[in-house]
Structure 1
Amino acid sequence: MKTKIKKVIRKLMPNMYARLAEIKSNKILKQFKKDYPNTKIFEPVHKDARKLYSQDNQDYIVYENFFKGKKNGFFCDIGGNHPLTINNTIYFEELGWNGIVFEPLPYMSELWANHRKAKLFPFALSDSEGKVTFTIVKDSTGWEDMLSFIKETRDVDYDYETEEIEVETKVFKDIVERENIKQIDYLSLDVEGHELNVLKGIDFNKVRINILTIENNPASCYIYGDERIREIMFENNFKLWGRTIGLDDIYVNKDFLESLG
């Protein structure tokens, strides 16, 4: 009901709605800065201001601050979606890095196989093995399909045409053990609301991960983010180093941070 009311107000009084939304967002951002005074804040960017490939310069931020000049790294892209458009890992592959990607959408998996070198795992990740219903948001202008999601996690009502498919889920710790992966330099996690479940399936004691960007923008608190995600990361020796407002948290392994001097 609240969502429908918001849509009506947005349609009938767009200027008032925008102003109220701005006031609310500024208040929440102020609270975030108070709670995390040492976390770097990165504002959203217009597509013309993207320095590399990521939506809000995540790849550029990670490269410039932690991996500048590094040619032999290893990345992991969980929820890769399109391999070339608004993608967090393609730049690192262009630098010569190797990596793995998890992407359950059949047509996206085919694009990865044809256009990227990363090893492809065509299924979803979660905190248990099984099968889930995946809602595909059909592409109408070139980007909406990136909103596709696991229905059990985010059953929302988009104003786009959708279809549902069944996809297989695996657990991250089982895959990295089978593949004998001991270290990941950069992990990008963007699974439209299922991030918490994926994190529960990672054994941080078995694989060293240096940097993570994690989409953390639930509809109820997209400016501030979900504290449950942060609790898991703090418990596993990570620092909330940065945040792209309304989108991603950027985490740095404290041991890795110390090694940088």
Structure 2
Amino acid sequence: MRIRRLLHLLGPHGKIKARFGQWGEDVIVHRNFDKQKQGFYVDIGAHHPFAHSNTARLWLRGWTGVNVDANRKSVDILRRVRRQDRTIWAAVVSDNIAAERDTIDFFATEQTDLTGTVVPEMASDRGKQTSITVPCRSVASIIEESAELAPNGIDFMNIDIEGMDEEAIASLAEWPQKPRMIAIETYAQTIPDVMQTETFRIMSENGYDFRFQVGLTSIYMRKDFHRGR
């Protein structure tokens, strides 16, 4: 199994692939967990086992976790490749919406495939649009489910859900477990801009330090985070 996982590191010409994340975020994540052979991740908006994935390198090292995506095609391929993970087909919504309903309707186009996750108000105008019904979950409920699978705690959490990221962490104070590291898209252009966001306020008030900004992704670490284990 480990050999099979490592084969995915090879590029088309036999070269080792250095990173999988869109901006190289996974390089920072990997370096901060470089001494930890086993661990647990939660990937919200997982998209694909390798393309633009901030958890691919961890999975290749033998980590396991929970993947969540609203795109059924993404979920199918994640289940085929990451068989030891739990992969959930669901759209992440606010706690209030999740309390009121079990599904949500999205507008998808015929071009929807593994290149992107379908989200409300963000579907492309190209092609014929169709309405699809998707199960919906709050992040709090996903954390609760993940905590049962991670007796040593959740090490890393990635959140990339196309503009819904801030809502996803609104209930962070009430989560049954707080991941040691969280990578979340912020869409701020500069570090001072990041520090003016609601995301920064929520993270700071819940015991996290803002450590890195890579592209559009902000990386936070719990104040008691120690490299490796």
TM-score when scaled to structure 2? 0.76
Pair 1:125–1:71, CA change in 2 (3 A): same
Structure with larger Rg: 1
Correspondent of 1:252 among 221, 225, 229: 221
Structure 2 distance, partners of 1:63, 1:158, is 33
**Cα distance, 1:104 vs structure 2:** 1.9
Counterpart contact for 1:171–1:202, Cα < 8 Å: no
* Structure 1 segment 1-261 matched on structure 2, within 5 A: 51-64=18-31, 66-117=32-83, 118-128=85-95, 129=98, 130=101, 131-136=103-108, 139=111, 145-146=115-116, 148-149=118-119, 151=120, 155-156=121-122, 158=124, 160-161=126-127, 162-179=129-146, 180=148, 181=150, 183-203=153-173, 206-217=176-187, 221-222=188-189, 224-225=193-194, 227-245=197-215, 247-257=216-226
SS in 2 for 1:87: coil
1:204-237 CA distances to partner (integer Å, 9 max, x unpaired)? 65203111110111xxx55545701111101111
Rounded Cα–Cα distance in structure 2 between residues aligned with 1:198 and 1:114: 27
SS in 1 for 2:169: helix
Q: Partners in 2 of 1:106 and 1:198 — Cα distance?
A: 20
1:164/1:205 CA distance change after superposition, 3 Å: closer
CA distance in 2, matches of 1:203, 1:146: 30
Native 8 Å contact 1:126 1:201 kept in 2: no
- AA at the equivalent of 1:94: L
C-alpha displacement of 1:241: 0.4
Please provide the CA RMSD for this pair: 2.7
Measure, in 2, the Cα distance between the counterparts of 1:199 and 1:90: 23
Query: In structure 2, the residue corresponding to 1:200 is in which secondary structure?
Result: coil
| Structure 1: gaps (5+ residues) | 1-49
Specify every segment of 5 or more residues in structure 2 that has no aligned partner in the other structure, as ranges: 1-16
In structure 2, give the amino acid aligned to 1:200: A
Deviation (angstroms), 1:163: 4.0
For these two proteins, the number of residue pairs brought into alignment is 200
TM-score, length of structure 1 as denominator length: 0.67
Structure 1 CA distance for aligned equivalents of residues 21 and 109 of structure 2: 20
